[in-house]
Amino acid sequence: MLKVSVQAKISNKDPLVVFPVFEEYKKKNPLPSAVKKLMDSRIKSKDFKNEAGSTLYTITDSKALPTRILLVGLGKIKEFTPEKAREFGATALKAAQAKKQKKFSIYLTGEFDDFVQQVAEGAILANYSIARYKTGKAKKKIEESFCEAATLISGAKSAGRAAKRAAALAEGVFNTRNFVNDPANICSPAQLEKHARKIAKQIGAKITVFNKKQLEKMGANLILAVNQGSPNGDQAARMVVIDYNPKKSKTVDLAIVGKGIIFDTGGVNLKPTRHIEDMHQDMAGAATMLGAMTTLKKLGVKKRIIGVGPITENSMDGTSYRPSDVIKSYSGKTVEIGNTDAEGRLVLADALNYTAKTYKPKHMVDLATLTGACVVALGEEYGALFGNNGKFQEKIMTSSKNTDEAMWVLPIHPKHEKSMKSDVADLRNDSKHSYHAGASTAAAFLKQFVEKTTWAHMDIAGTAYLSRPKKYEKARASGFGVRLLADLAENI
């Protein structure tokens, strides 16, 4: 991971210095005068446009200037946002990579005092590659492309803390990205459990892992039904419960429950080609929970936060559960299986009900790559937010805005709940009205298992795994939700 440090003054010995340029640079931006001069001349020669999106890389031989300079046009100061600061950090990182500079500096003037964390986030998060299993020369090439260190040149009092916070958040995001990008033969249920144990140890939290036998004893039969196609060894179902409680408090402020389907074949309702290949991403909910838990200690969160991950594959085999099976859930409610591909809501139902009853958390949120319908409705741009409590949803929306991890509130209509009632059992796992409002009916199903708990559900099916990444992301796993949850944990 990119090491980020803070330095109050610029040194012309820095190998590459990135200068942000606002349109108002003449009046407001306290850039070094030699840089201003350089800029004036490059604007005059039309090599650099003083507008957002314009960049200029230049080598100098003046003693008054660093050897390598990158100018990055950012537009108007007034229109600058935290998200633009992240993008700027990523632009700086990518320029350093392109110029094969392992170390670089970013010149953050007064206007940036409130954006230091976001610039650092953007730079660290952009320094990531998905090519983690290459060998030989290709591996070397990837390794060589990473930057090692960035110096933020800032006089802001809060800059050191901001850099540390960015590093803590990025560590969580990288964990999530790695777990989600890993295929199911590498990140098996057993392996994800190992990751969870390591994170719990690192943050000084207690971890309990329920193995298959214990799940049987508890009656977590929905989790076990999904596990029937791959019930042995490393593939056996398990549920991890991480209890982060630095102040030894009795009450749980926030419980985070994440869908941990290691690979979703669809089961007997097998997914077709082009819909199945990426389904190693289906544990993104659990991975996001783990990423968020990773950040808590370093962010200094004092609240009690519980992380729960029901983990299994959804495989097809002679022993797999079938459409029409009726299963008694942990809650006692019976569920008719209409479609074995609607497995996420099943494992979550047991995990949510267990969490609600055992911990009685003040707030409970679940995250899941739950429905294709969510992707149809909101694409990669928004996660879908549901719940049973307006105030809690507002808190999540505030965290969403604070972190630019965009969420959009969708409804649960009483008729959505009705469509999940079965003729033979209490509930069915697919709606009577096929795909109508598919994201809402899935949420309506979950709602039946949360008891009286203040609860929200985040469907991250479109945002967890990207084909069109932002500047500080790479295609595939985004780590979406980690920063949002960390913000929520801090502010709940």
Beta strands in 254-304 (DSSP E): 254-258, 260-264
Q: Does 459 bind ligand BES (CB under 6 A)?
A: no
For residue 297, give the amino acid letter: K
Q: Does 461 bind ligand BES (CB under 6 A)?
A: yes
Task: Choose the catalytic residue: 164, 165, 259, 345.
Answer: 345
Burial of 404 (0-12, 13-18, 19+ CB in 10 A): middle
Spatial separation of the C-alpha atoms in residues 344 and 259, rounded to whole Å = 6
CA 430 to chain CA centroid, Å, is 27
How many binding residues for ligand BES (CB under 6 A)? 16
| Nearest distance, CB of residue 163 and ligand BES, angstroms | 34
Contact pick of 74, 106, 342, 437 for ligand BES (by CB under 6 A): 342
How far from 306 is each of 66, 112, 361, 365, 381, CA to CA, in Å? Answer: 49, 35, 9, 10, 28
Q: Does 460 bind ligand BES (CB under 6 A)?
A: no
Q: Does 66 bind Zn ion (CB under 5 A)?
A: no
Do 416 and 437 form a contact (C-beta atoms < 8 A)? yes
Give which of ligand BES, Zn ion, none residue 461 binds (C-beta under 5 to 8 Å, depending on kind).
Answer: ligand BES
Give the interface segment with ligand BES, choosing from 22-30, 181-189, 320-328, 340-348 (CB under 6 A).
340-348
Q: Does 430 bind ligand BES (CB under 6 A)?
A: yes
Beta strands in 184-295 (DSSP E): 206-210, 238-244, 254-258, 260-264
Contact pick of 14, 182, 336, 341 for ligand BES (by CB under 6 A): 341
Give the interface segment with ligand BES, choosing from 49-57, 182-190, 335-343, 447-455 (CB under 6 A).
335-343
| Nearest distance, CB of residue 337 and ligand BES, angstroms | 11
How far from 378 is each of 332, 385, 460, CA to CA, in Å? Answer: 34, 11, 10
Give which of Zn ion, ligand BES, none residue 10 binds (C-beta under 5 to 8 Å, depending on kind).
Answer: none
How far from 470 is each of 78, 310, 348, CA to CA, in Å? Answer: 22, 30, 29
| Nearest distance, CB of residue 375 and ligand BES, angstroms | 5
The number of residues in the chain equals 492
- Both structure tokens of 197: 């144990």
Residue listed under structure tokens 């799940």: 215
304 given a catalytic annotation: no
Q: Which residues are CB-contacts of 418 (< 8 A; sequence separation ≥ 6)?
A: none
Give which of Zn ion, ligand BES, none residue 173 binds (C-beta under 5 to 8 Å, depending on kind).
Answer: none
Q: Which is nearer to ligand BES, 343 or 473 (CB)?
A: 343
Q: Does 339 bind ligand BES (CB under 6 A)?
A: yes
Instruction: Name residues contacting ligand BES, limited to 271-310 (CB under 6 A).
Output: 282
Spatial separation of the C-alpha atoms in residues 326 and 116, rounded to whole Å = 54
Give which of Zn ion, ligand BES, none residue 339 binds (C-beta under 5 to 8 Å, depending on kind).
Answer: ligand BES
Task: Choose the catalytic residue: 99, 102, 271, 362.
Answer: 271
What count of other Cβ atoms lies within 10 Å of the Cβ of residue 64?
Answer: 12
Do 307 and 258 form a contact (C-beta atoms < 8 A)? yes
Q: Does 458 bind ligand BES (CB under 6 A)?
A: no
Q: Which is nearer to ligand BES, 147 or 444 (CB)?
A: 444
| Nearest distance, CB of residue 480 and ligand BES, angstroms | 12
Do 243 and 254 form a contact (C-beta atoms < 8 A)? no
Q: Does 264 bind Zn ion (CB under 5 A)?
A: yes
140 given a catalytic annotation: no
Q: Which is nearer to Zn ion, 73 or 260 (CB)?
A: 260
Question: Phi and psi of 3, rounded to 5°?
Answer: -85, 125
Q: Which is nearer to Zn ion, 87 or 341 (CB)?
A: 341
Q: Does 344 bind Zn ion (CB under 5 A)?
A: yes
Give the interface segment with ligand BES, choosing from 36-44, 62-70, 144-152, 363-371 (CB under 6 A).
363-371
- As beta bridge partners, residue 153 has 7, 107
Q: Does 440 bind ligand BES (CB under 6 A)?
A: no
Q: Which is nearer to ligand BES, 355 or 463 (CB)?
A: 463
Residue listed under structure tokens 């604007």: 43
Spatial separation of the C-alpha atoms in residues 260 and 34, rounded to whole Å = 55
- Both structure tokens of 337: 């299986």
Q: Does 446 bind ligand BES (CB under 6 A)?
A: no
- As beta bridge partners, residue 409 has 385
Question: Phi and psi of 456, rounded to 5°?
Answer: -140, 155
Per-residue mark of binding to ligand BES, 366-395 (x: CB under 6 A): ---xxxxx-x--------------------
Give the interface segment with Zn ion, choosing from 127-135, 227-235, 344-352, 404-412 (CB under 5 A).
344-352
Spatial separation of the C-alpha atoms in residues 180 and 134, rounded to whole Å = 17
Residues of this chain that interact with ligand BES (CB under 6 A) are 264, 282, 339, 341-344, 369-373, 375, 430, 438, 461
Active centre residues (catalytic): 271, 345
Residues of this chain that interact with Zn ion (CB under 5 A) are 261, 264, 282, 341, 343-344
